[in-house]
């Protein structure tokens, strides 16, 4: 049974990390205790006409203090509204949702691109094995310092302003790290490239997908992705990213 709860929580901090990127800390209580790396919570807007909750990945949890950290990019009206909230405000949310990453392997590659990086931080903290962490940015870096201490961190920036000039796959291919598991979250072209790389090297991979969502709880089918096998619930070759995902093994899905 799902441990997801819907409730109003207090915002402890909501600060601007970089242009358009915010870092929100929530007093989430039992929601934090139940959360696994790779899961997400959905946040509700207060303004009229914004009925659908906005899914945001859990970046970090502090189970003892009952806190959840989110890092989000202002993408439209909902996330803009979140960015204007202040410490002490309340926000309605539901979670934790989705399946999360399975912790496995002895040598892991953790690969994140852009706003796909936040859910990998809690994963990097909880995964106890040899870890290479490859973070890709278009230009401005964020969260990279938070990963230090949880593995060897490699940066790729498309504009050459930090680390290696290029994308995460340029780093992966240049170093050809030995690995038995890849964890990845990022834009669709990046996930496709990771999937192809993992298949070519016969490495298991867990990919966290992002699809436009509506209900966020498995009821509306707005978020399906193509799957290799027929889904028992839907009786079609697709899976709900919000319910069966957002994390899938690479060989389960078609990108
Ligand atoms: C599983 C999951 C985890 C995510 N984690 C993060 C995160 O950690 N940080 C972050 O910055 N963003 C994350 N996103 C993307 C984030 O949900 C969207 O940027 C956000 O919903 C946009 O809402 P908006 O009102 O600002 O934009 P609008 O474009 O005005 O949104 C209109 C509607 O479309 C939906 N929508 C728009 N873009 C997306 C999208 N990319 N994914 C899902 N629904 C969308 C909105 O929820 C809303 O219902 C995640 C998305 C998913 C599916
Ligand atoms: S968003 Fe409704 S089923 Fe996934």
213 CA distance to ligand 1 middle (Å): 7
Per-residue pLDDT at 163: 93
Count other Cβ atoms within 10 Å, centred on residue 11: 17
Looking at the fold, whether 111 and 92 belong to one and the same domain comes out as: no
Looking at the fold, whether 159 and 73 belong to one and the same domain comes out as: no
Residues 93-117 have a mean pLDDT of: 97
In this predicted model, what pLDDT tens digit does every residue of 138-159 receive, in sequence order? 999 999 999 999 999 999 999 9
Q: What is the pTM of this model?
A: 0.96
Looking at the fold, whether 84 and 148 belong to one and the same domain comes out as: no
Looking at the fold, whether 89 and 45 belong to one and the same domain comes out as: yes
242 CA distance to ligand 1 middle (Å): 12
Looking at the fold, whether 199 and 223 belong to one and the same domain comes out as: yes
Choose one of 42, 69, 97: the last residue of a domain: 97
Judged by phi (left if over 0) then psi (alpha if -120 to 50, else beta), residue 78 lies in alpha
CATH code, 192? 3.40.50.80
Looking at the fold, whether 122 and 226 belong to one and the same domain comes out as: yes
Q: Whose CA is nearest to atom 43 of ligand 1?
A: 212
Question: Would residue 102 count as lying in a domain?
Answer: no
CATH code, 33? 2.40.30.10
Number of structural domains found in the chain: 2
In this predicted model, what pLDDT tens digit does every residue of 46-91 receive, in sequence order? 988 888 999 999 999 999 999 999 999 999 999 999 999 999 999 9
Residues 199-203 have a mean pLDDT of: 97
Looking at the fold, whether 226 and 132 belong to one and the same domain comes out as: yes
In this predicted model, what pLDDT tens digit does every residue of 172-186 receive, in sequence order? 999 999 999 999 999
Tokens 């834009």 map to which residue? 187
Looking at the fold, whether 145 and 227 belong to one and the same domain comes out as: yes
Choose one of 79, 97, 115: the last residue of a domain: 97
Model confidence at 231: pLDDT above 80: no
In angstroms, the CA 245 to CA 227 distance is: 11
112 CA distance to ligand 1 middle (Å): 17
Looking at the fold, whether 80 and 119 belong to one and the same domain comes out as: no
- Mean pLDDT (the chain, rounded): 95
Nearest-atom number in ligand 2 for the CA of 213 is: 1
213 lines ligand 2 (CB under 6 A): yes
Domain that holds residue 27: 5-97
Tokens 């598991």 map to which residue? 181
Q: Whose CA is nearest to atom 40 of ligand 1?
A: 212
Residue 2 pLDDT level (bands cut at 50, 70, 90): low
97 CA distance to ligand 1 middle (Å): 14
Residue 192 pLDDT level (bands cut at 50, 70, 90): very high
């Amino acid at each position: 049974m799902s441990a997801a709860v819907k409730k109003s929580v207090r915002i402890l901090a909501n600060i601007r990390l970089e242009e358009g990127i915010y870092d929100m800390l929530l007093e989430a209580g039992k929601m934090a205790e139940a959360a696994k790396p790779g899961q997400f919570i959905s946040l509700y807007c207060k303004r009229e006409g914004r009925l659908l909750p906005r899914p945001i990945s859990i970046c970090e949890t502090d189970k003892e203090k009952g806190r959840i950290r989110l890092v989000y990019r202002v993408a439209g009206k909902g996330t803009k509204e979140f960015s204007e909230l202040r410490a002490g405000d309340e926000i309605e949310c539901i979670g934790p949702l989705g399946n999360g990453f399975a912790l496995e392997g002895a040598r892991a590659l953790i690969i994140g691109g852009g706003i796909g990086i936040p859910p990998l931080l809690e994963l990097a903290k909880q995964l106890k094995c040899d870890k290479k962490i490859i973070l890709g940015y278009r230009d401005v870096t964020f969260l990279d310092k938070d990963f230090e201490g949880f593995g060897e961190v490699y940066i790729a920036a498309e504009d050459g302003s930090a680390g290696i000039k290029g994308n995460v796959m340029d780093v992966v291919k240049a170093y050809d790290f030995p690995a038995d598991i890849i964890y990845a979250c990022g834009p669709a072209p990046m996930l496709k490239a990771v999937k192809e790389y993992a298949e070519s090297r016969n490495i298991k991979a867990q990919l966290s997908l992002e699809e436009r969502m509506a209900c966020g709880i498995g009821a509306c089918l707005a978020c399906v992705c193509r799957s290799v096998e027929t889904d028992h619930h839907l009786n079609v070759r697709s899976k709900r990213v919000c319910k069966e995902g957002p994390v899938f093994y690479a060989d389960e899905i078609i990108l």
